[in-house]
């Protein structure tokens, strides 16, 4: 199926590995021109080289830490120099795990900047550029815990719930500008971060993810693959999803038990 993305300009944050890299790869496979960002230059350039070799065209890169204002500014400067974007993928890692009330104000502030304020800053920066190009699409990557909380995920749950509320509000405010915004909530996905959680040392296990226990709650009985998130994100970013905005979608093998 042709998703009509050839020639579209897409910015994918957190794209040196995992879900972000998979989304960049799927968008490139559909013919989009891509700009990828990450915090560390070496893995970012390695990812770009891999994508360039696979698809036979240049992949642009920009180093930026979206947890910080200057990191967002650096990425947005590269976007403006590029000429703007049609697609923004808001994606990053996640704050530490642990009992919610054990974290001090500094750690809560960092979680807020990483998960919620980064989405505000990036969206605020690209919306005028999208409007000038006739419209666009924003896809936020959060996690299944944003809609079905688990113990020790308080930093992520609270801040990503804010992303869902923001996206719903922006879906109404941006629709007249022909800009859509949707949010994905991936479940247990086979990524480097999940591997690290699965290998947690005994001293860390009380505040780490018990992968085997979570697996028991998944009706499909398996972890997801990054490509399974990427295919949905790419569809939502495409013109074929032109009547979808303000949606929050769990991609979790049936792990979310809510009716909504």
pLDDT in tens, 68-115: 999 999 999 999 999 999 999 999 999 999 999 999 999 999 999 999
What domain range is 115 assigned to? 9-189+224-249
Does 232 fall in a domain?
yes
Indicate the helix (H) or strand (E) that contains 77. Answer: helix 69-82
Q: Is the pLDDT of residue 179 over 80?
A: yes
The more confidently predicted of residues 183 and 217 is 183
Mean pLDDT of 38-50: 98
Does residue 1 lie within any of the structural domains?
A: no
Q: What mean pLDDT, rounded, does the chain reach? A: 93
- List % helix, strand, coil for the chain (3-state, nearest 5): 50, 15, 35
User: Is 211 inside any structural domain?
Assistant: no
CB-count exposure of residue 55 (10 Å: 0-12, 13-18, 19+): middle
More confident residue, 256 or 142: 142
Residue-level pLDDT at 121: 98
- pLDDT, residue 95, reads 94
pLDDT in the model for residue 218: 93
* 32-39: average pLDDT: 98
For residue 171, is it within any domain?
yes
Q: Residue 82 is encoded by which pair of tokens?
A: 């590029």
Query: Does any domain span residue 120?
Result: yes
CB-based contact 118:14 (threshold 8 Å): no
What residues form DSSP beta bridges with 36?
A: 12, 61
The CATH number of residue 126's host domain is 3.40.50.720
Give pLDDT, residue 251: 96
Kindly calculate the radius of gyration of the chain based on its CA atoms and give it in whole angstroms.
18
The answer as to whether 158 is a domain residue is yes
User: How much is the pLDDT for 91?
Assistant: 98
Comparing CA positions, the residue from 247, 158, 244, 146 lying closest to residue 187 is: 146
How many folded domains does the chain comprise?
1
| From 30-34, 134-138, 153-157, 201-205, the region with the lowest mean pLDDT | 201-205
Q: What value, to the nearest 5°, has the Cα angle with vertex 80 and ends 79 and 85?
A: 55
Nearest to 154 by CA among 190, 216, 217, 207: 207
pLDDT grade for 208, boundaries at 50, 70 and 90? low
Q: Which of 212, 153, 143 is nearest to 183 (CA)?
A: 143
Confidence of residue 199 (pLDDT cuts 50, 70, 90): low
Q: What is the pLDDT of residue 201?
A: 47
Q: Is residue 43 part of a domain?
A: yes
As a whole number, mean pLDDT of residues 108-135 equals: 98
Give all strands of the β-sheet with 9-12 in edge-to-edge order: 60-63, 33-38, 9-12, 87-90, 136-141, 179-186, 248-251
DSSP 136-190: EEEEEE--GGGTS--TTBHHHHHHHHHHHHHHHHHHHHHGGGTEEEEEEEE-SB-
| Long-range contact pairs involving 193-200 (C-beta distance under 8 Å, separation at least 24) | 193/18, 193/93, 193/94, 194/223
φ, ψ for residue 72, nearest 5 deg: -60, -40
Q: How many CB atoms lie within 10 A of CB 152?
A: 20
pLDDT the model gives residue 206: 54
pLDDT of residue 192: 73
Whether 207 shows a pLDDT value over 80: the answer reads no
* DSSP-assigned states of every residue in 33-53: EEEEEES-HHHHHHHHHHHHH
**Residue 260 CB contacts under 8 Å (≥ 6 apart), including other chains:** none
Domain contains 194: no
Confidence of residue 211 (pLDDT cuts 50, 70, 90): confident
């Amino acid at each position: 199926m042709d998703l009509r993305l050839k020639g579209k300009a897409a910015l994918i944050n957190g794209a040196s590995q995992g879900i972000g890299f998979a989304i960049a790869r799927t968008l490139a496979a559909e013919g989009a021109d891509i700009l990828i960002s990450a915090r560390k230059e070496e893995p970012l350039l390695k990812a770009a080289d891999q994508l360039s070799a696979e698809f036979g065209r240049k992949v642009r890169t920009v180093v930026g830490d979206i947890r910080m204002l200057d990191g967002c500014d650096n990425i947005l400067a590269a976007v403006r120099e590029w000429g703007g974007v049609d697609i923004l993928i808001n994606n990053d890692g996640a704050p530490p795990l642990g009992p919610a009330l054990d974290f001090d104000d500094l750690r809560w502030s960092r979680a807020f900047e990483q998960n919620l304020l980064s989405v505000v800053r990036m969206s605020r920066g690209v919306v005028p550029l999208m409007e000038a190009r006739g419209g666009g699409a924003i896809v936020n990557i959060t996690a299944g815990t944003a809609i079905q909380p688990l113990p020790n995920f308080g930093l992520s749950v609270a801040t990503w719930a804010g992303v869902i509320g923001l996206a719903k509000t922006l879906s109404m405010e941006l629709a007249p500008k022909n800009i859509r915004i949707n949010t994905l909530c991936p479940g247990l996905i086979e990524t480097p971060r999940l591997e690290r959680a699965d290998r947690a040392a005994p001293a860390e296990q009380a505040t780490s993810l018990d992968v085997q226990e979570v697996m028991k709650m998944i009706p499909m009985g398996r972890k997801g693959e990054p490509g399974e998130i990427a295919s949905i994100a790419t569809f939502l970013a495409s013109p074929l999803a032109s009547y979808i905005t303000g949606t929050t979608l769990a991609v979790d093998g049936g792990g979310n038990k809510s009716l909504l």
